[in-house]
Structure 1
């Protein structure tokens, strides 16, 4: 594994604090399906699709990661960092802000 891949994996592990089973359960909720940017005409949001890819990554052995997996890990790290900076004031438990982060594998209430 290259240094870049090792750093990407470490950053991904820091950003994604939900297990594959937690994320799988979350993605089945109405709240998860309600938030995020959807393609014109409807369909699955970018974050929801990302959550499914994260589950596939978490279910794999590290030796089986593809270039696409590493690219997605970097995308997840960037999204979580940017979105975390936009934290609204007050209780965030039942907010679209938190739900969006959870679609990307990060529950801000777990930290």
Structure 2
């Protein structure tokens, strides 16, 4: 029997995948992480939120954890916050914002749907 997904999870899934417009490979390359190496003990590596996005991108909706849902909401919030009332040209020139967005899998220069 198929597991039922709530409408809220469906909506968050869609919003997350609209916000994240980089592939897991592109995000790993951006973060400078080798995907086949396990994270060792100690503090998290580069951009823990970005690494959580990579993990989520490899999952099916039915495999999401509560932690995954929190990460997905955080990513949607970051992308909304950083792109709200901001032109594409400004994002291209604002290196801090662009890097923050790319660290969570959103390349503001790629998004063809970005119409402000």
Q: TM-score, normalization: structure 1?
A: 0.75
RMSD: 2.4
The 4+ residue runs of structure 1 with deviation greater than 2 A are 85-91
Q: Deviations over 1:39-98 (max 9, x none)?
A: xxxx867xx110000000001222211111011101110111001127476572681221
* 8 Å contact kept, 1:87–1:97: no
The residue number in structure 1 matching 2:23 is 19
Tell me how far apart the structure 2 counterparts of residues 57 and 91 of structure 1 sit (CA, whole Å): 25
Structure showing greater radius of gyration is: 2
Kindly indicate which of the two structures has a greater share of residues assigned to helix: 1
